[in-house]
Amino acid sequence: MPVISYTVLSALLLEDIPQLTGWVDRFDREMAAGKVAAALVTSMLGLRLGPPIMNVMPRAGRPDVVAAGLRRFFTAAVRG
């Protein structure tokens, strides 16, 4: 059974390779430019890990929201 499951899963994944990896070039450019929040947004959308609200927000506003969240997270982590 595991071999059949793996075969079906890999076939499904390989079918959408361009859709699943098309975001990597943009991610690399954003990281090279030092735009960490924008790169995080790109990876969340590319890997389909972001919250649904990210799909309806304008692209220009997304890095600002993510950067604010990162600042809050790391500020809280430093304070303990």
More confident site: 70 or 15? 70
pTM: 0.64
Structure tokens at 58: 């304008």
* Average pLDDT of span 27-40: 90
Q: Is the pLDDT of residue 2 over 50?
A: no
| pLDDT value of position 53 | 80
Structure tokens at 32: 């090279």
Q: What is the dihedral of CA 25, 27, 33, 36, to 10 degrees?
A: 180
CB 51 within 8 A of CB 60: no
More confident site: 37 or 51? 37
* Average pLDDT of span 26-54: 87
42: nearest Cα among 59, 56, 67, 18: 59
**CB neighbours of residue 16 within 10 Å:** 10
Place of tokens 């090279």: 32
